[in-house]
A and B are shown apart, each in its own frame.
Chain A
Amino acid sequence: MSVLPIEAPARPVERAKPTGMGRILDREAPLAYLLMFPGLFILALFMAYPFGLGVYLSMTDKYVGFANYDFIGFDNFRYLFQDTIFQRTVRNTFVYSFFTVPFKLVLGMGLALVLNNHFHFSRFMRAGLLLPWIVPTAISSLAWLMLYDSVLSPFSILFKNWGLIDSNINFLGSQYNAMAALCLANVWRGVPFFAVSILAGLQAVPPDLHEAAALDGASAWRRFRDVTLPVIRNIVLISTLFSVIWTFADFQLVYVLTKGGPANSTHVFGTYAYQLMGFSDLGTAAAVSVSMFPILAVFAVVLLRYVRAED
């Protein structure tokens, strides 16, 4: 959604009046900082400070509730790199993100194209199809938990009654099934976000351009590629960026469905950090969370560069 920042070209004004720019700069800077102050204050207090503390903790052997601890440099990270569960966690998180995001993107794009039509109750449908994104994840993941239930999954019961299968479907009990099940639930939750963002982009596509292209005999695919796609390109990239961030940092869904099991085979950063916290190992838990940050930052910077470069 926040395509906007990147998309907006530099203000024409400054280009138009280069001589006045210095003066404007002088006057605008104090105002800018004044305006930003309340937000920055809150962020500094409730975000920057705890974040700094968190980064510091990742370099200590701090345990929850113990007053004494030592600074141990990068030992926690060294420990993690040798930790097979952490290696697994990193792999899982990448699989989880880079497997689900393309699906979310394609399905979301399709949904946006469909919703861009006018039909009866289209407003109602638009809101309705946003539901997966609105309902509190803590509760919607319980609905998925029921659907995936090892013993009472409605699918298992139904298929057994129909004689299609003999035993319950093992949705969450083997590593591959569990990972696939998590991905499906994640795609489900993420599609509406892509759909709404892209729908916003689609509404900006000038209809006359489409008609002109159609008159020229361009196929539907070519019209999509040459007319629609350039307009929504940035919105797609930014939505992808946000989706990757959310998926990377996902916690709730995995926590409710598998808690990282079976046998640690579905841990992602969030659940592994939380599990380490379970026995109070704050230092290592913080290290797990912190190690996610540079990966995301690199990804974000690369993508944002790419978006800007094409402007």
Chain B
Amino acid sequence: MVGSNTFRLRLLQLYLPLAFYAVFLLFPFAWMLIVSFKPANDLLDTTINPFLLYGFTFDHYRYLFEETDFLRWTLNTFIVTVGATILSLVCSILIGYALGRLRFRGGNTMGVIIFLAYLVPPTLLFIPLAQVVTRFNLYGEYWSLIFTYPTFLIPFAGWLLMGYFRTIPIELEQAAMVDGATRLRAMWTIIMPLALPGILSAGIFCFTLGWNEFLYALVFMSTGTMKTMPVGVVSDLIRADVLFYGSLMAAGILGSVPVAIAYSFFVDHYISGLTAGATKG
């Protein structure tokens, strides 16, 4: 009696809502997956149930690997995203530490300015940015994106880390400094390890935004094989007025599922990294 009651409660409070969310959030992926395995002819057949597979093919995936530079694009995206993430993280850690743990005149203003930097839309920036990218001879190089992505990564990650650093008791650092450590040394040996969850969260966040970026990748780095995955896929799989839906969806699956799997290992750290600030609220 009690047992069945708990089960009913659990069903109502957990499994049903969970099922609703799973359907709502994963439905488009299910569709992508179906399309990526659907034989080309079935997509145009309006007499069959479009959500079922009446045939099965790897052609779309094969096309991706044999007829396009998909692997190279993925590698490019990876290099650019990792590069931009590392650069942004280093800068953001330093900014976050300075704004979060050091008291200095103009600190608050600086924090607000960095936040406002986040509000500037890329559609405004990309043309003027093109001049900067050219001036530094970065056009068509990985560096063009590694240096431009931080414009939207640093404001966000810097803010996130500023809050995180504030949650770490300052006494820890002071104790170390009393023991003779320099501030930088205390920062490196005491604070950094404690801030790791926050840094990880910020890193994951940066990685995701970088992985998704399209406009800068399109205008600054889309020559030859130097394309990121989203740009390459859209450029090669939309031919004039024909869309290669099967391969486009296959690319979507291949481009996101590995990241999702990586997330599943990090997701708890990710969340705990975000949590620290909340406990102080």
Q: Chain A residues near B166: list those with CB within 8 A.
A: 4-5, 8, 11
Chain B positions within 8 Å of A95 at CB level: none
Q: Does B39 sit within 8 A of A, measured CB to CB? A: no
Alpha-carbon gap, A230 to B111, bound state (A): 25
Question: Given A39-B92, A143-B249, A249-B121, does the pair A1, B151 have CB atoms closer than 8 Å?
Answer: no
Whether the Cβ atoms of A46 and B50 lie closer than 8 Å is no
Whole-angstrom distance between the Cβ of A185 and the nearest chain B Cβ = 8
Chain B residue numbers with a CB within 8 Å of A32 are: 98-99, 102, 104, 107
Interface-side segment among A67-75, A133-141, A258-266: A133-141
A157 & B29 in contact (Cβ 8 Å cutoff): no
> How far is B276's CA from A139's CA once the two chains are assembled, in angstroms?
34
Q: Find chain B residues with CB under 8 A from A1 CB.
A: 160, 201, 205, 274
User: Is the Cβ of B150 less than 8 Å from the Cβ of A5?
Assistant: no
Contact B104 A139 (CB under 8 A): no
Q: Which of A45, A144, A282 contacts B28 (CB 8 A)?
A: A144
Bound: A21/B104 CA distance, A: 10
Give B239-281 interface residues, CB cut-off 8 Å to A.
243, 245, 248-249, 251-252, 255-256, 259-261, 263-264, 267-268, 270-281
Instruction: Give the CA-CA distance A154 to B28 in the complex, in Å.
Output: 11
Question: Number of A residues whose C-beta is below 8 Å from B?
Answer: 111
Query: Judging by beta carbons under 8 Å apart, are B252 and A161 in contact?
Result: no
The answer to whether A127 touches B263, judged by C-beta atoms less than 8 angstroms apart, is yes
Number of chain B interface residues as a range? 35 or more
Known: A127-B263, A127-B264. A11 touches B170 (CB 8 A): yes
Given the complex of chains A and B, what is the CA–CA distance between A203 and B174 in angstroms?
29
Interface centre among A39, A117, A269 (most CB of B within 10 A): A39
Query: A139 touches which one: B174, B183, B255, B263 (CB < 8 A)?
Result: B255
Interface string of B95-124 (1 = CB under 8 A from A): 101111111110100110011111111111
A39 & B91 in contact (Cβ 8 Å cutoff): yes
Q: Which residue of B lies closest to A130 (CB)?
A: B263
A233 to B205, CA, bound (A): 22
Q: Whole-angstrom distance between the alpha carbons of A17 and B101 in the complex?
A: 15
Q: A51 contacts the other chain (Cβ, under 8 Å)?
A: yes
Measured between beta carbons, the chain A residues less than 8 angstroms from B104 are: 25, 28-29, 32-33
- Output the residue of A47, A197, A230 with the most chain B CB within 10 A: A47
Cβ-based interface call for A213 (8 A): no
Instruction: Check A5/B119 contact, CB under 8 A, given A39-B95, A130-B267, A203-B275.
Output: no
Q: Interface majority SS on B: helix, strand, loop or mixed?
A: helix
Q: In the complex, which residues of chain A have a beta carbon less than 8 angstroms from the beta carbon of B255?
A: 135-136, 139
Bitwise, B44-83 to A at CB < 8 A (1) or not (0) is 1011111100000000000000000000000000000000
Contact status A4-B164, CB under 8 Å: yes
Q: Given A127-B263, A138-B233, 14 other A-B contacts at CB below 8 A? A: A3-B163, A29-B102, A39-B158, A136-B229, A139-B230, A140-B252, A142-B249, A146-B249, A191-B25, A234-B278, A251-B121, A269-B121, A277-B123, A282-B127
What are 17 of the A-B contact pairs (CB < 8 Å)?
A2-B159, A2-B162, A3-B278, A42-B147, A50-B128, A114-B17, A134-B211, A140-B28, A143-B31, A152-B44, A157-B46, A200-B274, A203-B271, A204-B281, A233-B281, A269-B121, A286-B127
Closest 7 CB pairs of A and B: A4-B163, A4-B277, A8-B166, A39-B91, A289-B124, A200-B274, A127-B264
Residues of chain A touching chain B, judged by Cβ–Cβ distance below 8 Å, are: 1-9, 11-14, 21, 24-25, 28-29, 31-33, 35-40, 42-43, 45-51, 53-54, 57, 64, 107, 110-111, 114, 117, 119, 123-140, 142-144, 146-147, 152, 154, 157-158, 160-161, 188, 191-192, 196-197, 199-201, 203-204, 230-235, 245, 249, 251-252, 269-270, 273-274, 277, 282, 285-286, 289-290, 292-293, 296-297, 300, 304
